Structure 1
Amino acid sequence: MTDLLIGVLLSASLFALLWPFLFYPLILRALPTLPEAPVAITPPSASLLFCAYNEAHAMPEKLANIAMLKARHSGLECLAFDDGSSDGTGDLIAAQGDLVTLIRGPGRSGKAHGMKQLAARARGDVLVFTDANVLLDGDAIDNLLARYADPDVGGVLGSLHYIGADESATASVGSLYWRIEERLKDEESRTGNVLGADGSIFSIRRNLYPDFPDSVLDDLTVSMAVVFAGKRLIKARDVIARERLVTGRKDEYRRKVRIAARAWHTHVHLRPQLRQMRAIDRFKYASRKIVRWFGGIFILTGAVAAGTLAMRISPMLYMVGALAVALTIWAGVRAKSGPFAALVDIMIAYAATLQGVVKAMTGRTVTTWNPAKSR
């Protein structure tokens, strides 16, 4: 391999790593704004849906949050699916009487299955999806439903604010990543469509809810149905949800592997419809999702290219560089905070995502989940 090819490989790897976080946002900012066109309508009715598994510790605060929301919106329908919890989560929900309509699953069947059960029973014009450990601000429902005054809007995402960013390097990196993600969604929304939602807080018109297998990532599948239907999927900054960050590396690693595996499986399931999207939406989807999923490969190719180039320049340079990398990783693994720990957590995140994608490519997927103990 010539020095030129090595340099090209190294440059291409760095470019691909930086694309979702630097070049893609710059391109989005250069695109024109696509304004909304609201009309005078009566606000639609809404159903709030969430699934839970062994979330007894989060239920008192969650149920109090729901009671506050229903006090402000007497017509708000709330439904919950208990996915075979063994810690009394379902009993805590049932004890609240008619505050929440509870559906108990027969055992572990997964969030996608549970959400389909809830959506089939919901009566609201708009389905609002959230997680069992997520709390909504008091004006979140009002602000969310107001965006449906534009008939072209088929789905609305909220803004997730994480709590506990200073509790560990893992939490700090997760918080930074999510702030970047939120800004990207803001820019995508301003220019047309956001390309996919996460499960913390998003909504769609009930008549757009799709059919899908239990093995897919339901929040991505359901939110993308809005784009496939030719409606706008937008983000509302004033619809605020709050959630505690995962602080343990093992918990975060397992979570990212699970999410990545299901995301790739979902990508394969949606591929025929993805190909039919407008060019701008295909560009957004590839930039924010596909390029990130393979970030681990870009790190590996960049490391190999850098090491090869260093060896060709000087074996001593290669040895010094390798030792510096090893010491940095060693320090980061031992540290609980600081730049070295943050660097290790970033590498772990890329490794977990790549593992999940490879897992899905080999035919394996994950349908159930466990709440993180370090949240």
Structure 2
Amino acid sequence: MKIALWLSLFIVFYAFFGYGILLFFLIKIRRAVKGKRVPPAEDFASLPTCTLIVAAYNEQDFIVEKIKNTLALNYPAGKVQYVFVTDGSSDSTPELVAAYAEIKLMHKEGRSGKIAAVHRAMDEVTTEVVVFTDANTFLNADALIKICRHYADPKIGAVAGEKRVHADETADATAGEGFYWKYESKLKTWDAELHTVVGAAGELFSIRTDLYRPVPVNTILDDFMISLLVADEGYRVVYEPEAYATENGSESVGEELKRKIRIAAGGIQSIVWLKSLLNPFKQPVLTFQYVSHRVLRWTVVPFLMILALIINIVIVVSGYDSILYDVLLAAQIAFYGASLLGWILESKQIKVKILFIPYYFCMMNYAVIRGIFRYSAGKQSAVWEKAKRK
């Protein structure tokens, strides 16, 4: 039981923190041997032609602001095109997009899901590079330049931008979302420097057009799948933190939970479908990164957290004479107690920021369990259902 307890705690710690620590030292070693990876210079003349695709479903509250943000992006004239796909939208989103001659509107009645809309748009793309971004996120002015400069290297197949979550002073426990993405950004930076990013976020990412592989229309995490299929073909997926998409945090913890459950279900689906990435003999570094950064979190970690608590209780109750296990149990109870208190206070609209992180961490792992069971039961639809944002 003691072995099971320490092994469980080790895997949980490794998945969220240990891997980051290990990455830090691996990067130091790589820099000492090969030097630091540096992004290429911004040579406007050599930037590839680019198409920006936005899939928008009933986004009338945000779409005009998104259009203005898009048209204000810096990129050489004549090298960029904008495509907005509004399939199935029943509000005024298509009409609002149609008012801008600079943007190509693609619209049809009937909702088939985000990835079906993206596939339809990709059939029209003729540029060397395609950039995907969400309708309710806003990019920094140089985002396209910062992303597309990387394609000067033929080994680069995709580029992931940074997701930033804006949390104001009235933010509730979803402020933990912002902290989480800051930590994820650092891990992705190190992942890219070691070898490759393992999965891009749909808020902002790009691929070489000729590397685009249509994923099944029932794919839940299309952005993750598309970018990892590029990595599976031997190309690097790099991370560009100077190209970022900003969005508000979820409207409530309930909305964030809904989003996390969907991501967890999609994570299990991706693991099942991308079996080749688990083969360490094909691309050992990619497999190491993929398992360490993604697979452990989306499979065993939440269950090992529960197992560690139960085993620790049994050891202490059985009278094992060691203060170490008493302290360990007290630490676990304190952590979960802080999470529970955060949940109670959030339900009463009381803001205690120190409780945001344990509450968000536990909510995130609870969502993984829910997502696993939802996917196993075949109840997770691939039709994009966005979380309400502030």
TM over 0.5: yes
Select 1:194's aligned residue among 176, 192, 197.
197
Q: Distance in 2 between matches of 1:269 and 1:9?
A: 30
Other-structure match for 2:16: 21
Select 2:136's aligned residue among 133, 137, 140.
133
Other-structure match for 1:155: 158
Q: Distance in 2 between matches of 1:75 and 1:191?
A: 32
Select 1:302's aligned residue among 302, 308, 312.
308
Other-structure match for 1:346: 361
> What per-residue deviation string (whole Å, max 9, x for no partner) do you get for residues 65-90 of structure 1?
01212786443111122141233222
Residue 170 of structure 1 and its aligned partner are, at CA, apart by: 2.8
Structure 2 residue ranges without an equivalent (≥5): 321-325
Q: Distance in 1 between matches of 2:250 and 2:259?
A: 9
CA contact (8 A) 2:163 2:244 kept: yes
Q: Distance in 1 between matches of 2:216 and 2:171?
A: 36
Residue 138 of structure 1 and its aligned partner are, at CA, apart by: 0.9
Other-structure match for 1:120: 123
Residue 372 of structure 1 and its aligned partner are, at CA, apart by: 2.3
TM-score (norm 1): 0.89
Going from structure 1 to structure 2, the CA distance change for 1:54 and 1:277 (only over 3 Å counts) comes to farther
1:247-266 alignment to 2 at 5 Å?
247-266=251-270
CA contact (8 A) 2:83 2:121 kept: yes
> What per-residue deviation string (whole Å, max 9, x for no partner) do you get for residues 70-129 of structure 1?
786443111122141233222221222x22212224322111111111111112100101
Q: Distance in 1 between matches of 2:77 and 2:247?
A: 22
CA contact (8 A) 1:37 1:150 kept: no
Going from structure 1 to structure 2, the CA distance change for 1:302 and 1:115 (only over 3 Å counts) comes to same
2:194 paired with 1:184: no
Other-structure match for 1:284: 289
The letter of the residue matching 1:24 is Y
Structure 1 residue ranges without an equivalent (≥5): none
Structure 2 counterpart SS, 1:99: coil
Other-structure match for 1:203: 206
Q: Distance in 1 between matches of 2:247 and 2:255?
A: 16
Q: Distance in 2 between matches of 1:69 and 1:126?
A: 16
> What per-residue deviation string (whole Å, max 9, x for no partner) do you get for residues 216-263 of structure 1?
121111111221222111111221221111140110111111111122
Structure 1, 341-350 or 298-307: larger mean CA deviation: 341-350
Structure 2 counterpart SS, 1:335: helix
Going from structure 1 to structure 2, the CA distance change for 1:57 and 1:173 (only over 3 Å counts) comes to same
Structure 1, 13-22 or 33-42: larger mean CA deviation: 33-42
Aligned residues: 366
Q: Distance in 1 between matches of 2:80 and 2:54?
A: 14
Q: Distance in 2 between matches of 1:137 and 1:162?
A: 14
Q: Distance in 2 between matches of 1:20 and 1:312?
A: 30
Going from structure 1 to structure 2, the CA distance change for 1:183 and 1:72 (only over 3 Å counts) comes to same
Select 2:341's aligned residue among 306, 314, 331.
331
CA contact (8 A) 1:29 1:187 kept: yes
Going from structure 1 to structure 2, the CA distance change for 1:161 and 1:265 (only over 3 Å counts) comes to same
Q: Distance in 2 between matches of 1:47 and 1:328?
A: 47
Other-structure match for 2:235: 231
Going from structure 1 to structure 2, the CA distance change for 1:20 and 1:297 (only over 3 Å counts) comes to same
> What per-residue deviation string (whole Å, max 9, x for no partner) do you get for residues 54-73 of structure 1?
22111121011012127864
Other-structure match for 2:323: none
CA contact (8 A) 1:79 1:118 kept: yes
2:70 paired with 1:66: yes
TM-score (norm 2): 0.86
